[in-house]
Amino acid sequence: MTSGTTIFAPASGFGRAAIAVIRVSGPACASLLTALGGTLPPPRRLSLRTLRDPADGEVLDQALVAFLPGPATVTGEDMAELHLHGGLAVRAGVIRALAAFPGCRPAEAGAFTRRAVLNGRLDLTEAEGIADLIDAETEAQRRQALRQLDGALGRQVAAWRERAIGCLAGAEAALDFSDEGDVDEAALDAGLLDEALALRDEIAAALADERRGERLREGFTVVIAGPPNAGKSTLLNALSRREAAIVSAQPGTTRDAIEVRCDLGGLPVILVDTAGLRETEDAIEAEGIARTRRRMASADLVLRLVPPDGAASPPLSAGARCLPVRTKADLAGAPGEGLAVSALTGAGLDRLLDAIRAEAEAALEGGDALITRERHRDALARCLAHLERVLAGADRLPPELVAEDLRLAVRALGEVAGQVGVEEMLDRLFSGFCIGK
């Protein structure tokens, strides 16, 4: 694919800086560089040029420019880079000149990476790796994004898809040549089922990962729950080392969940302060309590706070991981289960952070996760369902239905890398990219 338009966008941050980089991609790159700098620079070499506005010849900047002929570029098209002085006026003047050049237009979010996918320079999983790398806040997220960008998922899915296509070819051969005397249908069926069984087991093993990839990408969620005035907001502020939540002696001041993202030993952790759990006639507070219960049900870990007076702790949803924490340890209180902490003096906070880190490590670092998005999981689950139908009904289903299930399994695997149904997925993915990527 070669687009008829040429796109451009700043690839460096906005604001005053030493250097501003503008990326250009499309068929007009060579003529654009010639119009701006007088001559086309040698391919793949930074060259000093005086840039002039093609409209009136006014000098815009002295810059380093590079011409990168396609298809051996990131986007698969001719590309150019302009390394300008980083002043706002310089960048604005060059962008105005680019926008006025015939066939050029500003890039939309993710437009460069989108062209790379459409031109076969990246598959969809690698493009998602770029998005995750841009958004990575911790070392663990960075490592996972780099594995994705390196093609770990794409290569595995491609291998699975090749084997599924082999099964489909065998099924269609048995179907098309069933009346030929020299075709051993029993051998074809046995080989097909063995391969489908092995493929089913490998995909099922990848899906049985407790969603480690998605949880690492989104963050390990820790909900702080307990009765009013148990010290939830104070503990959140102490753990995050900033005044993220309002602290008040008046019960019921926290009405909505307050989230703070933390880097805990290289792992992404989301601390959530919630409304105190109690019976109330206040409609707004009751809604906050209902939201608290929903957050507890979906949390990776719940810190169940117990104040010194031993106020009743909230009932937990089935399956929720719970860590009891006795708060306000600087005050006299009855001993009980759980870690004793004091947000006022800092006592016990390090042990609590170590306990949270251990829970996060157990949940997120059980090996390299292959699946990192719900989209991947959904496609692989559909592939698995079709393979299950093939294995369950191979001896009783018409061969046409067996072949159809295998065809749908191949299609589901193709969706992971963006080989089918790509446009809608691209629209969703690149809407979250920054301009110039």
Residue 201: partners with Cβ closer than 8 Å, 6 or more residues away: none
**Lowest-confidence segment of 279-288, 325-334, 392-401, 423-432 by average pLDDT:** 423-432
The per-residue pLDDT for range 49-68, each reduced to its tens digit, is 999 999 999 999 999 999 99
For the chain, the domains span 6-120, 125-209+371-418, 216-364
pTM of the shown model: 0.76
Q: What would the CATH number be for the domain defined by 6-120?
A: 3.30.1360.120
Q: Is 219 left (phi over 0), alpha (psi -120 to 50) or beta?
A: left
**Beta carbons of 21 and 12 less than 8 angstroms apart:** yes
Which phi and psi angles does 203 have, rounded to 5°?
Answer: -70, -40
Measure Cα distances from 309 to 226, 290, 315, 327, 341 in Å: 13, 24, 18, 10, 15
The per-residue pLDDT for range 117-135, each reduced to its tens digit, is 989 898 889 999 998 998 8
Residue 98 to residue 92: CA distance in whole angstroms: 10
Q: Kindly tell me if the per-residue pLDDT of 425 is higher than 60.
A: no
Residue 33 to residue 82: CA distance in whole angstroms: 9
Query: How high is the pLDDT of residue 100?
Result: 94
Residue 293 to residue 314: CA distance in whole angstroms: 9
The dihedral formed by the CA atoms of 357, 363, 366 and 368, expressed in degrees to the nearest 10: -100
Which phi and psi angles does 323 have, rounded to 5°?
Answer: -125, 105
H or E element at residue 21 = strand 19-25
Residue 359 to residue 323: CA distance in whole angstroms: 10
Residue of 206, 182, 244, 230 whose CA lies nearest to 372: 206
Measure Cα distances from 376 to 150, 225, 226, 381, 417 in Å: 16, 33, 36, 9, 9
| pLDDT, greater one: 390 or 423 | 390
Q: What would the CATH number be for the domain defined by 125-209+371-418?
A: 1.20.120.430
Q: Is 58 left (phi over 0), alpha (psi -120 to 50) or beta?
A: beta
Strand bridging mode 267-273 / 258-264: antiparallel
Query: How high is the pLDDT of residue 274?
Result: 83
Interval 23-43 mean pLDDT: 95
Interval 383-407 mean pLDDT: 85
- Strand extents, DSSP E, 26-131: 47-52, 59-68, 79-85, 104-106
| pLDDT, greater one: 332 or 7 | 7
Q: Find out whether the peptide bond into 315 is cis, omega within 30 degrees of 0.
A: no
Interval 267-275 mean pLDDT: 87
Size of the chain, expressed as the number of residues it contains: 437
Residue 400 to residue 122: CA distance in whole angstroms: 35
Interval 287-312 mean pLDDT: 80
Interval 164-175 mean pLDDT: 81
Q: Kindly tell me if the per-residue pLDDT of 423 is higher than 70.
A: no
CATH architecture classification, 216-364: 3-Layer(aba) Sandwich (3.40)
Dig out the tokens for 333 from the structure.
Answer: 């209180």
Q: Kindly tell me if the per-residue pLDDT of 84 is higher than 90.
A: yes
